[in-house]
């Protein structure tokens, strides 16, 4: 039985007490962003009210407190993902920013004309376009691991793509459009057998299951604060020190330097080398608070609870006439995508919204996935630790009502 006190958890999230069109909100768009617990809101307010100040600069008291809290947040995140060293945790703006950082410095530091980069067929645009930009710049080639009609990667094809030309593999741990949990351990093991580093886009994994970077042995991991109950504008890049030390810097500016002259600049040590300029100080500290909140709840508990929810959702949604799942609903996590009869997802989404049910419709920033299935988009319901069976029941009722209005 899940060890989560859902009623108590829901009380911690002020937004869940809100109404939409006079109805209690059913928030099933957690893959897009999660709601924030009161501790995160309090942390933001406490920073601005009591110790707002720039970090790593001032000799004065406020700056010291801000710097300590900012660095304490780094320790919390390092512990959360079990990083070997805290210096391997870089604060970024989010997943997109983290992937752009790696694509940029890898491109400038490693990639030569004719080299190859591997992504998968189910990537979010933010794990496609940065690599395309870099490949175009360097004369490199982007290769794609194909998927089958169930939305599963075809691993035999991946094996065939691996060669000495491949310099990095970058794949999603969990697909945001289909919910597919990819066999990342196998992906990493095969890449490492060829000495190829792997970046994991963990934007949809980190909030749903325990993730240990040492056990996974991924070389880079990217995720967003706002999808793990933290604020927008802050995210994480984890990178193995051996890579971050030898790759060139990304942005230039304050904090990332050791000494500057017009003749020659030397760069700061990790993690500051990759944190140019004033960072999102309040965001980082509040992300630390969000991670602590997750740790207190326990990712094992959250995972077990959300698995039950997913099974329940599959069971209940399956009863709707004309509903078909996009992707195999058997091994999905966090999100479930579907279509109903020939109803356009957008029309369904609008009618669900009017009933207070927030889901996402469209291509979910994964246009190649929609092209693969020859569909304009899907309806996606996605879960968080505060989602309930009642939310799913209300979703089902709302879909049935919408369908009867549209048909
Ligand atoms: N990758 C995946 C798998 C995602 O789900 C998302 C967000 N939908 C992103 C990357 C991009 O995250 P962000 O917009 O927070 O940078």
SS3 annotation, 359-385: CEEECCCCHHHHHHHCCCCEEEEECCC
Contact 329, 336 (CB under 8 A): yes
Q: What is the pLDDT of residue 56?
A: 87
Using most ligand atoms within 8 A of CB, pick from 30, 91, 95 the residue to mutate for ligand 1: 95
| Total Cβ atoms within 10 A of residue 14 | 12
Nearest to 123 by CA among 149, 95, 101, 102: 95
Q: What is the pLDDT of residue 233?
A: 98
- Among protein residues, the one with the nearest Cα to ligand 1's atom 12 is 95
Q: What is the pLDDT of residue 1?
A: 46
Ligand 1: centre distance to CA 277 (Å): 23
Ligand 1: centre distance to CA 407 (Å): 34
Which residues lie below 8 Å from residue 405, measured CB to CB, with a gap of 6+?
351
Q: How far is CA 173 from CA 183, 199, 216, 249, 251, in A?
A: 8, 10, 11, 26, 27
**Per-residue pLDDT of the chain in tens (407 residues, 90 and over written 9):** 457 999 999 999 999 999 999 999 999 999 999 999 999 999 999 999 999 999 987 789 999 999 999 999 999 999 999 999 999 999 999 999 999 999 999 999 999 999 999 999 999 999 999 999 999 999 999 999 999 999 999 999 999 999 999 999 999 999 999 999 999 999 999 999 999 999 999 999 999 999 999 999 999 999 999 999 999 999 999 999 999 999 999 999 998 999 999 999 999 999 999 999 999 999 999 999 999 999 999 999 999 999 999 999 999 999 999 999 999 877 789 999 999 999 999 999 999 999 999 999 999 999 999 999 999 999 999 999 999 999 999 999 999 999 999 88
Counting from 1 in the atom list of ligand 1, the atom nearest the Cα of 96 is 16
| Total Cβ atoms within 10 A of residue 204 | 27
List helix spans (H) across 162-212: 184-193
Token pair of 67 as six digits: 């710097």
Q: Report the distance separating Cα 211 and Cα 75, nearest Å.
A: 16
Q: Report the distance separating Cα 126 and Cα 50, nearest Å.
A: 36
Token pair of 243 as six digits: 């890579």
DSSP one-letter code for 148: -
Nearest to 6 by CA among 407, 392, 324: 392
Using most ligand atoms within 8 A of CB, pick from 97, 365, 378, 384 the residue to mutate for ligand 1: 365
Contact 201, 171 (CB under 8 A): yes
Buried b (16+ CB within 10 A) or exposed e, 102-123: bbbbbbeebbeeebbbbbbbbb
Counting from 1 in the atom list of ligand 1, the atom nearest the Cα of 95 is 16
Nearest to 199 by CA among 238, 145, 250: 238
Helix (H) or strand (E) holding 142, with range, is: strand 141-145
Q: Report the distance separating Cα 327 and Cα 342, nearest Å.
A: 17
Which residues lie below 8 Å from residue 185, measured CB to CB, with a gap of 6+?
216
Q: What is the pLDDT of residue 12?
A: 98
| Total Cβ atoms within 10 A of residue 346 | 13
Counting from 1 in the atom list of ligand 1, the atom nearest the Cα of 32 is 8
ipTM above 0.90, yes or no: yes
Counting from 1 in the atom list of ligand 1, the atom nearest the Cα of 232 is 15
Ligand 1: centre distance to CA 172 (Å): 10
Helix (H) or strand (E) holding 161, with range, is: helix 155-161
Residue where the block lists tokens 């057998």: 193
Residues with CB under 6 A from ligand 1: 31, 94-96, 124, 126-127, 172, 176, 201, 203-204, 224, 365
Residues acting as catalytic residues: 365
């Amino acid at each position: 039985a899940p060890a989560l006190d859902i009623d108590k958890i829901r009380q911690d999230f002020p937004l869940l007490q809100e109404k939409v069109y006079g109805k209690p909100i059913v928030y099933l768009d957690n893959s897009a962003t999660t709601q924030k617990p009161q501790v995160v809101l309090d942390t933001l307010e406490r920073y601005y009210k009591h110790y707002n100040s720039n970090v790593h600069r001032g000799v004065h008291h406020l700056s010291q407190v801000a710097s300590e809290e900012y660095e304490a947040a780094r320790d919390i995140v390092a512990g959360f993902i079990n990083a070997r060293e805290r210096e391997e945790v870089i604060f970024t703006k989010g997943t997109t920013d983290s992937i752009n950082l790696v694509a940029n410095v890898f491109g400038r530091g490693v990639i030569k004309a004719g080299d190859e980069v591997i992504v998968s067929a189910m990537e979010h645009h933010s794990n496609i376009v940065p690599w395309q930009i870099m490949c175009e710049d360097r004369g490199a080639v982007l290769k794609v691991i194909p998927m089958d009609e169930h939305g599963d990667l075809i691993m035999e094809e991946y094996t065939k793509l691996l060669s000495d030309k491949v310099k990095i593999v970058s794949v999603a741990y969990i697909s945001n459009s289909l919910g597919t949990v990819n066999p990342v351990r196998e992906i990493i093991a095969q890449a490492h057998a060829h000495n190829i580093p792997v970046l994991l886009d963990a934007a949809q994994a980190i909030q749903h299951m325990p993730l240990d970077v040492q056990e996974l042995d991924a070389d880079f991991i990217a995720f967003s604060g706002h999808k793990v109950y933290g604020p927008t504008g802050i995210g994480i890049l984890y990178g193995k020190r051996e890579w971050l030390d030898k790759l060139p810097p990304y942005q230039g500016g304050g904090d990332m330097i050791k000494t500057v002259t017009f003749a020659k600049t030397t760069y700061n040590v990790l993690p500051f080398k990759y944190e140019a300029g004033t960072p999102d100080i309040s965001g980082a500290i509040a992300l630390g608070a969000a991670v602590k909140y997750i740790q207190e709840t326990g990712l094992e508990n959250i995972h077990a609870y959300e698995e039950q929810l997913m099974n329940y959702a599959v069971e209940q949604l399956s009863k709707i006439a004309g509903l078909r799942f996009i992707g195999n609903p058997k091994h999905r996590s966090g999100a479930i995508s579907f279509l109903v009869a020939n109803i356009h997802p957008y029309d369904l989404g609008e009618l669900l919204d009017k009933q207070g049910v927030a889901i996402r419709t469209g291509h979910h920033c994964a246009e190649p996935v929609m092209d693969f299935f020859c569909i304009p988009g899907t309806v996606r319901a996605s879960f968080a630790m505060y989602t309930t069976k009642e939310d799913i029941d209300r979703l089902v009722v709302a879909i049935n009502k919408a369908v009867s209005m549209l048909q």
